[in-house]
Amino acid sequence: MPRKTDEIRQFILENVEDHPADITLVTAEHFGISRQAAHKHVASLAQDGFLIAEGATRNRKYKPKPLVDFQLELPLSGLQEDKVWREHIRPLLENLSSNILKICQYGFTEMVNNAIDHSEGTNLTIWIRRTYKIISLSIIDNGVGIFNKIQKTFDLDDPLHAILELSKGKLTSDPAHHTGEGIFFTSRMFDGFFIWSDKLTFTHIEGFGNDFLFEDPAEKTGGTWIRMRIASNASRTTQQVFDAYTSDDYGFSKTSVPVALAAYGGENLVSRSQAKRLLARFEKFKEIILDFAGVEMIGQAFADEIFRVFQAQNPAIHFSTINASEQVQKMIQRVLNNEM
């Protein structure tokens, strides 16, 4: 097969998931060929079993045929996450680079272990889907739900508070056996990380630099569903992710916290109690990045509690801010000027 044909076919496979309806046009424009020529390559891939065509000719869409589409249900009692990985999952991920395999192994074993130790469920469903471009790992348990479990364990006012605590890292209900780092680092290793439980969705998407929360009162998911997604050609390594949150002592001492998660129901961040909710467990870190994305303004009491009161009590902790609006910056500066 000519080299040009190889390049075109590879381009189609790498881009069809992002362009299911216009992959022919995108291919034609990228390689400077006619739409008819591009369509021949798309049709050839469908004929060879690499793509699936859906719909009538005029409105046809294409999607990659899964290389792997595997589901397995297992009892949680007596389950060993490393054995499940070795016997059932690793054989499905052949021909991947070592950095992707290490990320998949870390995320899979950490999330399965969480289900074993914390879910209070009886069964675990594993779903692995792999295309030419994307590896997707899903871990689904029938337990009490991760956000409800955290709320109950830490006596929090609302499951939404549980999501704020998850985003900080170092959260564990069993400190004698767990460091609380698994979800935090897993969410940063994958391109997309999602948790569905009850009516809440927690997500971290690489490149957006923040954690997001979605609440759908009409949607209720029992147990916990965790989905991790990564491109097969991603270049990041587990060590790079660990290093990004490590200070000079080589420990997990740096974190980035989305301030917006401290607000419930569209409320403004104005009170000291809201600030104290945000500040909980900050003493476990040496460097804290406060991400103000999505926060238009903050109140004087909220800013004062963080940047004057807490900082005076914890001088060894270093704060920095990102994505702060002009109004937020002015309030922080006002507090700092009053301190001086």
Q: How many CB atoms lie within 10 A of CB 192?
A: 18
Q: What is the pLDDT of residue 174?
A: 62
- Compute the average pLDDT of residues 234-240: 93
Same domain, 282 and 186: no
Q: What is the pLDDT of residue 340?
A: 45
Strand order in the sheet with 318-322: 254-258, 287-291, 318-322
Q: What is the pLDDT of residue 311?
A: 93
Residue for token pair 């021909």: 95
Of 18, 37, 64, which closes a domain?
64
User: The whole model's pTM is what?
Assistant: 0.78
With a cut of 70, say whether residue 172 has pLDDT above it: no
Same domain, 120 and 261: no
Q: What is the pLDDT of residue 180?
A: 64
Is the pLDDT higher at 170 or at 238?
238
Measured CA to CA, the distance from residue 307 to residue 277 in angstroms comes to 14
With a cut of 80, say whether residue 294 has pLDDT above it: yes
Residue 228 is inside which H or E element, if any? strand 221-231
Q: What is the pLDDT of residue 173?
A: 62
Q: What angle do CA 83, 149, 88 make, to 5 degrees?
A: 15
Q: What is the pLDDT of residue 177?
A: 58
Query: What CATH number is attached to the domain comprising 259?
Result: 3.30.750
Lowest-confidence pick of 14-23, 122-131, 228-237 = 14-23
User: Where in the sequence is the domain holding 331, given as residue range(s)?
Assistant: 247-339
Same domain, 97 and 59: no
* pLDDT tens profile 24-77: 999 999 999 999 999 999 999 998 888 998 887 777 899 888 889 999 999 999
Of 64, 82, 109, which closes a domain?
64
Same domain, 320 and 305: yes
Query: What CATH number is attached to the domain comprising 231?
Result: 3.30.565.10
User: Do the Cβ atoms of 139 and 111 come closer than 8 Å?
Assistant: yes
Question: Which of 199, 209, 191 is closest to 160 using CA atoms?
Answer: 199
Residue 178's pLDDT band, with cuts at 50, 70 and 90, is: low
Residue 331's pLDDT band, with cuts at 50, 70 and 90, is: very high
Residue for token pair 């080589």: 250
Measured CA to CA, the distance from residue 130 to residue 100 in angstroms comes to 13
Measured CA to CA, the distance from residue 6 to residue 31 in angstroms comes to 12
Cα 241 to the center of its chain, rounded Å: 13
- Domain total in the chain: 3
Strand partners, 140: 125, 225
User: Do the Cβ atoms of 107 and 137 come closer than 8 Å?
Assistant: yes
* Gyration radius from the chain CA atoms: 23
Q: What is the pLDDT of residue 300?
A: 95
Measured CA to CA, the distance from residue 23 to residue 12 in angstroms comes to 7
Same domain, 213 and 116: yes
Of 240, 261, 291, which closes a domain?
240
Measured CA to CA, the distance from residue 41 to residue 266 in angstroms comes to 50
Q: What 3-state class would DSSP assign to 306?
A: helix
Measured CA to CA, the distance from residue 190 to residue 9 in angstroms comes to 26
Same domain, 82 and 118: yes
Residues sharing a CB contact under 8 Å with residue 261, sequence separation 6 or more, in sequence order: 160, 163, 164, 167, 211, 213
Measured CA to CA, the distance from residue 205 to residue 293 in angstroms comes to 14
Lowest-confidence pick of 33-42, 141-150, 241-250 = 241-250
Same domain, 83 and 215: yes
Q: What is the pLDDT of residue 314?
A: 94
With a cut of 60, say whether residue 125 has pLDDT above it: yes
For the chain, the farthest-separated pair of C-alpha atoms sits apart, in whole angstroms, at 72
Residue 78's pLDDT band, with cuts at 50, 70 and 90, is: very high
Same domain, 110 and 231: yes
With a cut of 60, say whether residue 250 has pLDDT above it: no
% the chain with pLDDT above 70: 91
Q: What is the pLDDT of residue 1?
A: 46
Q: What is the pLDDT of residue 215?
A: 73
Same domain, 102 and 146: yes
Q: What is the pLDDT of residue 143?
A: 95
Q: What is the pLDDT of residue 220?
A: 62
Same domain, 76 and 42: no
Q: Decide: residue 235, CB within 10 A, 0-12 exposed, 13-18 middle, 19+ buried.
A: exposed
Q: What is the pLDDT of residue 234?
A: 93
Same domain, 29 and 72: no
